[in-house]
């Protein structure tokens, strides 16, 4: 019971510590992100009308990190008047694609079919992505709404994956590896990965090797991107709370170890004392 | 506080799930089973749309080759029928065979050749020298064959070379620990990234305590 | 038939897909592309497996009036009604999206955010410096933890710089080693699967 109470106190303090900077922002500095900068520059330098594919592997389980960055990159594409194709290999992805479509139509005057298309969900993960890369026109005949893709002017300009200027993915899984394997290695189409912070230590290697032209990493990467396009949003708002959360968990680790070492020392002293008494 | 019934519905679901943190209770279990039902139904619906668009519609249009994957897909469910479960092995074999081949086609270049090429850099700075040492020592941690021992406990291969590998692997282990530390740090960041949006929803969209963003 | 047949299927499909990649024959490439595309359909069937399994489990609970069968009823109502809605009116319908947005999405996000709480408890109770490896892990973890966010830069400009160096240099070297080792393992395992030497995917059933 004592253990349970201590756990609850730890959790309540965590909630309050993270909540306070959301209510009262601290406006802490964000710091650089060279890989995020590379992603921004690449997209920024694409000419108007370029076709990009956004692979939305976003789901409720990871939307806290991936949705802000997908939104920021989509806005950037729209600002630069690029044409966007959205694809997904997770069942929830099309829900987020529809949100981007709504934003594109309301805020940027995009016309569905001409400037933007949503491809249907495809099961199979890596194999489905490989299938798209190998023959995109064979892999997709209809859009998400069941309309033949040949009805859309945008699709007329997509003969193969090589007609795509950049493919970006927003993933909590291995999509950045799949892109490196099946898109970059086979067809040399530039790829950008937007991934959860947890994948950064792995994805950074692919960026350094040149297999990814840019990397947007977790909430920090999303916040960095939001600031680059001058549209601070969901991720920027979260960064102060992230700071305090990190600090709190670090203090818990240090505190836990101090208690551990003290207990260990007391235990040793106790044993020595017991021996002396004997 | 929000007047929108949609926000209230979402808030009730969130609170129901969070109530588990206090202790398991009926409110949580109702929300849990509701969530489970919806999520599995959503998966099934998305699967159905794929089967309909890629399998059944082509069949209806006379593309008989689509019968092969449809039959293989149906056979997956044979695992629920006693005595016929072995039939699902055909579907699994197909899935595994294709996945294995697709893996080979992608991994050799992206996972091996490009990685080795990426490790070879000009030694024009202290950092580059360190990178080389880190690369070599980290790889040596995975030299299991050289490090293995014979039946009588003797080291297989040259002893001096073996000692060198052992020392290199020790440094490599240090490098790996540094990497795992980085993974640990980013893991915490990722987990906070899941929690903060829920707080923003409950204390922002619902209670209006957190100022909204565009 | 029960064991050799599936091995033959894995072999034939694997070899055709590989041949499509390595040989420049249009017929082989077309066959390979077709086989890979069919995989989408079979994988789509697999998505329903979990649902069917849970349907059976909760169905048995309800029929047998087992403990907590009322919760099984909730599962059934949610599963069946949402599935019927999705099939009958499509996932793009307003009703389907309403439920996804206001019931499924908040529940799923909340469920996954649980992990932070258990990680917080682990920070207090489990992460102990017992040896030099743990010390290295914790120190680098702490630097990366602070370096990734603004508070690190607010404490010292050096923290984000060191954090970036850790991720870019020693971490990259370690990940590269793991990637090379893992990739070699994946290739070997894939070859074993195609050649029928690796048959663990058939395990678990006696008949």
**Judgement on whether residues B109 and B131 belong to the same structural domain of the protein:** no
What are the CA-CA distances from residue B192 to residues A70, A238, A242, B88, C119 (Å)? 18, 9, 7, 41, 10
More confident residue, A17 or C1: A17
Residue of chain A nearest C22, judged by CA positions: A186
pLDDT score, position B123: 85
Q: Are A68 and A237 in contact (CB under 8 A)?
A: no
Question: B190: domain range?
Answer: 122-214
Residue of chain B nearest C164, judged by CA positions: B182
Whether A31 and C108 lie within 8 Å, measured CB to CB: no
Q: Are A188 and A174 in contact (CB under 8 A)?
A: no
CA–CA gap between residue C76 and residue C78 (Å, rounded): 5
Rounded to the nearest angstrom, the minimum Cα separation between B46 and chain C is 8
Query: Chain C partners of B103 at a C-beta cutoff of 8 Å?
Result: 186-187, 190
Whether B173 and C133 lie within 8 Å, measured CB to CB: yes
Mean of the pLDDT values across residues A62-89? 96
Residue pLDDT, tens place only, C58-76: 999 999 989 889 999 999 9
Q: Are A240 and A60 in contact (CB under 8 A)?
A: no
Tokens of A71: 């939104």
Whether C86 and B42 lie within 8 Å, measured CB to CB: yes
The whole-chain average pLDDT of chain B stands at 89
Given B40, B62, B84, the domain boundary residue is B62
CA–CA gap between residue A100 and residue A170 (Å, rounded): 13
**Judgement on whether residues B158 and B200 belong to the same structural domain of the protein:** yes
Has residue A48 got a pLDDT over 70? Answer: yes
Has residue A115 got a pLDDT over 90? Answer: yes
In a 13 Å sphere around the CA of A105, the CA atoms on its Cβ side amount to 12
Rounded to the nearest angstrom, the minimum Cα separation between B85 and chain A is 22
Has residue A154 got a pLDDT over 70? Answer: yes
**Judgement on whether residues B20 and B54 belong to the same structural domain of the protein:** yes
Has residue B154 got a pLDDT over 70? Answer: no
Rounded to the nearest angstrom, the minimum Cα separation between A146 and chain B is 8
Percent of chain A with pLDDT over 90: 85
Task: Give residues with Cβ within 8 angstroms of B3, minimum separation 6.
Answer: none
Tokens of B55: 């399998």
Would an 8 Å CB–CB cutoff place C19 in contact with chain A?
no
Tokens of A278: 């004997």
**Judgement on whether residues B23 and B89 belong to the same structural domain of the protein:** no
Whether C149 and A139 lie within 8 Å, measured CB to CB: no
Tokens of A82: 């690029």
Whether B190 and A231 lie within 8 Å, measured CB to CB: no
**Judgement on whether residues B199 and B141 belong to the same structural domain of the protein:** yes
Q: Are B14 and B198 in contact (CB under 8 A)?
A: yes
Closest by CA to C182, choosing from A264, A164, B108, is B108
Residue pLDDT, tens place only, C116-133: 999 999 999 888 998 988
pLDDT tier for residue A1 given thresholds of 50, 70 and 90: low
| Torsions phi, psi for A121 (to 5 deg) | -65, 140
H or E element in which residue C154 lies: helix C150-155
The whole-chain average pLDDT of chain A stands at 92
H or E element in which residue B66 lies: none
Mean of the pLDDT values across residues A49-60? 96
pLDDT score, position A278: 38
**Judgement on whether residues B97 and B33 belong to the same structural domain of the protein:** no
Candidates A34, A220, A252; nearest CB to C124: A252
CA–CA gap between residue A23 and residue A4 (Å, rounded): 29
pLDDT score, position A2: 57
Given B95, B120, B145, the domain boundary residue is B120
Has residue C34 got a pLDDT over 80? Answer: yes
User: B182-202: string of b/e by CB count within 10 Å (b at 16+)?
Assistant: bbbbbbbbbbbbbbbbbbbbb
Whether C39 and A249 lie within 8 Å, measured CB to CB: no
Tokens of B65: 């080759």
Q: What is the total residue count of chain C?
A: 207
Strand partners, A121: A88
Rounded to the nearest angstrom, the minimum Cα separation between C161 and chain A is 9
Closest by CA to A185, choosing from C84, B2, C183, B80, is C183
Q: Are A183 and A53 in contact (CB under 8 A)?
A: no
Mean of the pLDDT values across residues B90-108? 92
**Judgement on whether residues B25 and B104 belong to the same structural domain of the protein:** no
Would an 8 Å CB–CB cutoff place B43 in contact with chain C?
yes
pLDDT score, position C206: 46
Has residue A269 got a pLDDT over 50? Answer: yes
pLDDT score, position B166: 84
**Torsion sign (Cα): C70, C74, C77, C80:** negative
What are the CA-CA distances from residue C123 to residues A253, B187, C116, C129, C159 (Å)? 5, 12, 10, 12, 21
Mean of the pLDDT values across residues A189-201? 94
pLDDT score, position A79: 96
Dmax (CA) of chain A = 93
Given B120, B143, B164, the domain boundary residue is B120
**Judgement on whether residues B90 and B45 belong to the same structural domain of the protein:** no
**Judgement on whether residues B72 and B147 belong to the same structural domain of the protein:** no
pLDDT score, position C23: 87
Query: Chain B partners of C2 at a C-beta cutoff of 8 Å?
Result: 86, 89
CA–CA gap between residue B152 and residue B129 (Å, rounded): 39
Q: Are A103 and A74 in contact (CB under 8 A)?
A: yes
**Judgement on whether residues B22 and B8 belong to the same structural domain of the protein:** yes
CA–CA gap between residue C200 and residue C6 (Å, rounded): 12
Total tally of structural domains belonging to chain B: 3
Residues 93-112 of C with CB under 8 A from B: 98-112
**Judgement on whether residues B77 and B7 belong to the same structural domain of the protein:** no
The ipTM assigned to this model is 0.88
pLDDT score, position C80: 95
Interface test with B, best of C17, C30, C45, C117 (most B CBs within 10 A): C45
Mean of the pLDDT values across residues B86-104? 92
pLDDT score, position B29: 95
Would an 8 Å CB–CB cutoff place A162 in contact with chain B?
no
Whether C175 and A250 lie within 8 Å, measured CB to CB: no
Has residue B159 got a pLDDT over 90? Answer: no
Q: Starting from the edge strand earliest in sequence, which strands make up the sheet with A166-171, in order?
A: A116-121, A83-88, A51-56, A166-171, A191-195, A214-217
Mean of the pLDDT values across residues B1-15? 93
pLDDT tier for residue B155 given thresholds of 50, 70 and 90: low
**Judgement on whether residues B77 and B51 belong to the same structural domain of the protein:** no
pLDDT tier for residue A97 given thresholds of 50, 70 and 90: very high
Whether A197 and B189 lie within 8 Å, measured CB to CB: yes
Mean of the pLDDT values across residues C169-195? 93
pLDDT tier for residue A221 given thresholds of 50, 70 and 90: very high
CA B186 to the chain's CA centroid: 15
Q: Which domains does chain A have, with CATH numbers?
A: 34-231 (3.40.50.10160)
């Amino acid at each position: 019971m004592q253990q349970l109470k201590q756990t609850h106190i730890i959790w309540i303090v965590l909630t309050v510590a993270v909540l306070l900077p959301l209510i009262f922002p601290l406006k802490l500095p964000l710091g650089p992100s060279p890989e995020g900068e590379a992603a921004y520059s690449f997209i920024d330098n694409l000419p108007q009308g370029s076709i990009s594919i956004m692979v939305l592997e976003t789901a409720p389980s990871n939307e806290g990190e991936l949705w802000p960055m997908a939104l920021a990159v989509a806005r950037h594409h729209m600002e630069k008047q690029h044409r966007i194709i959205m694809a997904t290999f997770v069942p929830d992805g099309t829900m987020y694609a529809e949100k981007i479509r709504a934003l594109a139509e309301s805020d940027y005057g995009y016309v569905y079919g001409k400037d933007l298309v949503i491809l249907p969900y495809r099961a199979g993960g890596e194999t489905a992505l490989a299938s798209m890369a190998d023959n995109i026109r064979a892999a997709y005949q209809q859009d998400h709404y069941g309309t033949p893709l040949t009805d859309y002017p945008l699709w007329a300009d997509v003969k193969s994956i090589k007609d795509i200027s950049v493919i970006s993915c927003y993933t909590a899984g291995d999509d950045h590896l799949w892109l490196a394997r099946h898109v970059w290695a086979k067809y040399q189409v530039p790829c950008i990965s937007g991934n959860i912070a947890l994948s950064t230590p792995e994805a950074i290697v692919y960026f350094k090797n040149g297999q990814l032209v840019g990397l947007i990493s977790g909430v920090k990467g999303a916040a960095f991107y939001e600031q680059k396009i001058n549209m601070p949003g969901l991720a920027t708002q979260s960064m102060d709370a992230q700071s305090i959360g990190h600090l709190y968990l670090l203090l818990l680790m240090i505190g836990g170890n101090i208690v551990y070492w003290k207990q260990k020392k007391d235990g040793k002293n106790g044993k020595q004392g017991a021996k002396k008494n004997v | 506080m929000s007047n929108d019934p949609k926000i209230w519905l979402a808030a009730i679901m969130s609170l129901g799930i969070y109530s588990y943190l206090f202790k398991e209770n009926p409110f949580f279990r109702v929300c849990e089973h509701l969530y489970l039902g919806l999520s599995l139904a959503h998966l099934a619906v998305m699967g159905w749309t794929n089967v309909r668009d890629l399998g059944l519609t082509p069949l209806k249009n006379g593309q008989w080759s689509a019968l092969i994957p449809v039959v293989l897909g149906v056979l997956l469910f044979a695992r629920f029928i006693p005595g016929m479960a072995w039939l699902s092995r055909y579907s699994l074999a197909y899935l595994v065979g294709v996945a294995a081949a697709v893996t080979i086609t992608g991994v050799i270049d992206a996972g091996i050749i490009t990685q080795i090429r990426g490790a070879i850099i000009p030694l024009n700075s202290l950092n580059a020298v360190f990178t080389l040492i880190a690369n070599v020592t980290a790889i040596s941690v995975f030299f299991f064959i050289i490090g293995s021992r014979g039946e009588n406990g003797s080291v297989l291969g040259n002893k001096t070379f073996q000692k060198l590998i052992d020392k290199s692997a020790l440094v490599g282990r240090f490098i790996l620990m540094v990497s795992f530390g980085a993974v640990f740090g980013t893991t915490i960041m990722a987990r906070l990234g899941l929690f903060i949006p829920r707080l923003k929803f409950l204390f922002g969209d619902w209670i209006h305590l957190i100022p909204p963003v565009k | 038939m029960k064991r050799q047949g599936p091995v033959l299927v894995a072999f034939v499909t694997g070899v055709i897909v590989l041949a499509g990649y390595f040989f420049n024959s249009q017929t082989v490439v077309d066959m390979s592309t077709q086989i890979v595309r069919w995989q989408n359909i079979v994988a789509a069937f697999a998505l329903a497996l979990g649902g069917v399994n849970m349907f059976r489990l909760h169905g048995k609970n309800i029929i047998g009036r087992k403990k907590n069968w009322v919760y099984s009823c909730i599962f059934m109502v949610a599963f069946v009604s949402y599935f019927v809605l999705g099939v009958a009116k499509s996932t793009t319908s307003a009703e389907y999206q309403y439920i996804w947005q206001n019931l499924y999405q908040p529940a799923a996000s909340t469920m996954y955010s649980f992990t932070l709480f258990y990680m917080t408890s682990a920070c207090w109770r489990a992460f102990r410096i017992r040896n030099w490896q743990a010390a290295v892990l914790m120190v680098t973890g702490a630097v990366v933890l602070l370096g990734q966010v603004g508070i690190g830069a607010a404490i010292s400009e050096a923290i984000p710089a060191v954090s970036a160096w850790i991720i870019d240099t020693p971490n990259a070297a370690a990940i590269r080693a793991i990637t090379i080792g893992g990739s070699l393992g994946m290739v070997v395992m894939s070859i074993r699967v195609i050649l029928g030497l690796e048959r663990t995917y058939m395990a678990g059933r006696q008949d």
